[in-house]
Structure 1
Amino acid sequence: MTVATVTRQDVIDFLYSEARLLDEWKLTEWADLFTDDASYNIPPIGHPESDATEYLFFAHDNRSRLQERAERLLKKEAHVEYPHSTTLRNYHNIMIDDLESEVINVECNFTTHRTKREVMDTFIGRHIYEIVQENNELAIKSKKVILHLDSLRPHGKISLIL
């Protein structure tokens, strides 16, 4: 598969595969979807265009930090997520830019439902991706998660990967 042969459906299937890996708590496999120079960012609510040097981000990870986050969340010592939450992710309104480009820009809305200890939380927002090809496979060069929430209630934190 070359960049010229990537179809819209290839990209959509890739995103759905990402969602499945996260829902199944296959976090190391999820981290493997990212390039070596990748970034994963969750800016503060209400400040999606902010700079991480000036604002506190929920996540501002490079590839190695992303791997560490994935491995840490899988350990029993990660009390906030052990046992793991049950999640269900939906990606919708997927908009894909130029498939012929070296970097494919993708935006989609998301809904992540999470249940744990008889409490259900719903996270909604927008994902912004830069997707590239590496070794004839699609890979995530960057992922930005923009939360469309008024606040993180009731717990005030994000304990899972969005």
Structure 2
Amino acid sequence: MRAIERSDVEDFLFHEADLLDQWRLPEWLELFTDDATYEVPCTDLPPDASADNNLFYIADDRFRLGERVKRLMKRTAHAEFPHSKTSRIVGNVRIRGRGEDTVDVSAVFQTFRTKDGTTDLYFGTSNYRLKVDDNRIRIGEKRCLLGGEGLRPHGRISIVL
């Protein structure tokens, strides 16, 4: 197995952003391992807070993430039908650590979301634990730390960050 370089990680994260912007959520879901977690803690929590004893906006395991994707792809998901238009910018990609088959990565994000004549900006840092096997990169953990002081004026997260 060859070493995974930052450019490999960047390409993977850019691919993830593209899948999300195109609302190809079932394909995006396939980027996750079977034991993956996806978390968005509240903005007033420390970055290492646990979902076990704190309120999170999103704290999904792989099964719940799959259910979220199914729900968002249905016409009955009124908050996202028709789908928002989004545009994601991913930058400042850094490899923070390496394990035997994992790579810890951080990247900043800006997600612009337009719906019903309103454009909102979500920004922050995404921390990943990427798992590498057979030169394939998959997401084992993703935690999006929102940079704002709260969700106002948005009031909710109905998209995937």
TM-score by structure 1 length?
0.93
Three-state SS of the structure 2 residue aligned to 1:17 is helix
Q: Cα offset for 1:132?
A: 1.0
Corresponding residue for residue 39 of structure 2: 41
Corresponding residue for residue 85 of structure 2: 86
Matches of 2:111 and 2:120 in 1, distance apart? 8
Aligned partner (choices 6, 23, 28) of residue 8 of structure 1: 6
Matches within 5 A, 1:86-105: 86-98=85-97, 101-105=100-104
Corresponding residue for residue 120 of structure 2: 121
Q: Cα offset for 1:98?
A: 4.4
Corresponding residue for residue 53 of structure 1: 52
Corresponding residue for residue 66 of structure 2: 67
1:105-148 CA distance string (max 9 Å, x none) = 10011100000011000001000000112343100000000001
Q: Is the 8 Å Cα contact of residues 43 and 49 (structure 1) preserved in structure 2?
A: no
Give the letter for the 1:6 counterpart. Answer: I
> Judging changes above 3 Å, is the alpha-carbon distance between structure 1 residues 156 and 101 closer, same or farther for their aligned structure 2 residues?
same
Q: Is the 8 Å Cα contact of residues 88 and 114 (structure 1) preserved in structure 2?
A: yes
Matches of 2:158 and 2:9 in 1, distance apart? 27
Between the two proteins, the alignment pairs up a number of residues equal to 160
Corresponding residue for residue 132 of structure 2: 133
Q: Is the 8 Å Cα contact of residues 92 and 108 (structure 2) preserved in structure 1?
A: yes
Q: Cα offset for 1:99?
A: 5.5
Q: Is the 8 Å Cα contact of residues 8 and 99 (structure 1) preserved in structure 2?
A: no
Provide structure 2 residue ranges, at least 5 long, that are not aligned to the other structure. none
Give the letter for the 2:12 counterpart. Answer: F
Q: Cα offset for 1:50?
A: 1.9
Matches of 1:147 and 1:155 in 2, distance apart? 12
> Judging changes above 3 Å, is the alpha-carbon distance between structure 1 residues 99 and 50 closer, same or farther for their aligned structure 2 residues?
closer
Matches of 1:154 and 1:5 in 2, distance apart? 43
Q: Please provide the CA RMSD for this pair.
A: 1.4
Which one has the bigger strand percentage?
A: 2
1:33-81 CA distance string (max 9 Å, x none) = 0001100000111213222122211111111111111111010000000
Matches of 1:56 and 1:26 in 2, distance apart? 28
Give the letter for the 1:107 counterpart. Answer: S
